[in-house]
Structure 1
């Protein structure tokens, strides 16, 4: 868990420094910075969803993930929670977007083969090199995101701790399910959501309910074996 804790600390430090730097950035710069981050997110997402090899699995995961998220009203519940957190932690700092900062940082830091493979390596082999590389990237990313979007970015440390820590602790149990195919499709789905995130940041009025799509990221764990079984029968 050493590398996971280091990653969390890097996000907290980077996010805090970025949040403090936000006060020095002129408000007139905010829009162009946000759109720049949107462009970067689209690039990251396009690079990531090329990891997938099966369009059908992507489509099924997105459809059923959206149905689950909409049924559970994840976006609405999260918005209410974010509003309360913003009033408590960022109520006196002027214009802020707690939810956008949290979602942006969480998706960017919790999606990708580096998360899964790095955590599996740490849990199974004690090899933390990949997670330490991710730690450096996350610390810098948190600084950049928080400088534009505020304190919500810092709270992305929580899902990073839960996902990476969970995989590390349960690596022996999860390894048979997190095959190369599954990890690739999970990365593909998550990266497509990052593209959606970039569109939200770049296009005024675009409001994709990305939190309602979040369950789709984990559905390849179930869909891939079912798909392989069906194609095997055919």
Structure 2
């Protein structure tokens, strides 16, 4: 297992570098690079959505998953944990003078949490390495995460580094679970799962760019229900 370690190390190195450099990073770079990262996220989202097999499945999964996320208040829970981590770190290390409100801070934090932990590249990269031993996708993701963590840590500070923990846990679980999960899936299920992830990535890109504030974390349960819905759709609605 190489990919999860490389990807986690990239987030840690990038986050530490950005938090330490802080205001020494040029203003243009700090303000313009997040738009590039948002554009990249939207581009990845589009590339994943076009692979959809059953479009109604992707839409239904997104709707039902988002409703589930709202009911269990997933985003509020993530923000609460993020707030606790931020306060713990801020008591020991002076927070960056970023001028962000608590709401703006949490929006950015949740957006990069999704980008690091729930992107299609990370999910499929982990499963691919678990099945074939090929870590190339996660290594490519590590390059993107290195710079993303660095730029966002300038504004958000050291809490960005902590995102390496849930990212590593998720990727490791997918790595070891791939041999069990993949044989139970079909190409259509994987394609629909990818499309749902793409829609979430597209929404993440809008939020990173500051265009629209989506409830991204509350959309994540759509990934849990995408494959079961796809399997049921193929069984009952496809001749």
Q: TM-score range by the shorter chain?
A: 0.7 to 0.9
Counterpart secondary structure, 1:176: helix
Residue segments in structure 2 that go unaligned for 5+ positions in a row: none
Contact 2:14/2:148, CA 8 A, preserved across alignment: yes
Q: Secondary structure at the match of 2:24?
A: coil
Q: Does 1:137 align with 2:140?
A: no
Q: How does 1:26-105 map to 2 (within 5 A)?
A: 31-90=31-90, 92-95=95-98, 98-105=105-112
- Equivalents in 2 of 1:122, 1:77: separation in Å? 31
Pairing partner for 2:128 from 99, 114, 121: 121
Q: Is the 8 A contact 1:18 1:147 kept in 2?
A: yes
- Change in CA separation of 1:26 and 1:208 when aligned onto 2, cut-off 3 Å: same
The residue number in structure 2 matching 1:229 is 235
Q: Does 1:220 align with 2:223?
A: no
CA distance in 2, matches of 1:124, 1:52: 22
Q: Output one character per residue of 1:134-166: Cα deviation in whole Å (capped at 9) or x when no partner.
A: 333332332233345443432321232122101
Partners of 1:43 and 1:128 lie apart in 2 by 22
Contact 1:177 1:221 in 2 (8 A): no
Structure 1 residues 197 and 172, CA, compared in 2 at 3 Å: closer, same or farther? Answer: closer
Unaligned runs of 5+ in 1: none
1:180 and 1:210 mapped to 2: Cα distance?
Answer: 26
**What is the distance in 1 between the residues matched to 2:140 and 2:35?**
27
The root-mean-square deviation of aligned C-alpha atoms, in Å, is: 2.8
TM-score by length of 1: 0.83
2:179 to 152, 158, 172: 172
Contact 2:114 2:217 in 1 (8 A): no
Moved more, 194-203 or 24-33: 24-33
For residues 88-120 of structure 1, give each alpha carbon's deviation from its aligned partner in whole angstroms, at most 9, with x where no partner exists: 224632235653444333322344554344323
TM-score normalised by length of structure 2: 0.81
Corresponding position of 1:199: 206
Aligned 8 A contact 2:95 2:157 in 1: no
**Which is further off, 167-176 or 30-39?**
30-39
Cα distance change of structure 1 residues 17 and 81 upon mapping to structure 2, 3 Å threshold:
same
8 Å CA contact 2:96–2:154 kept in 1: the answer is no
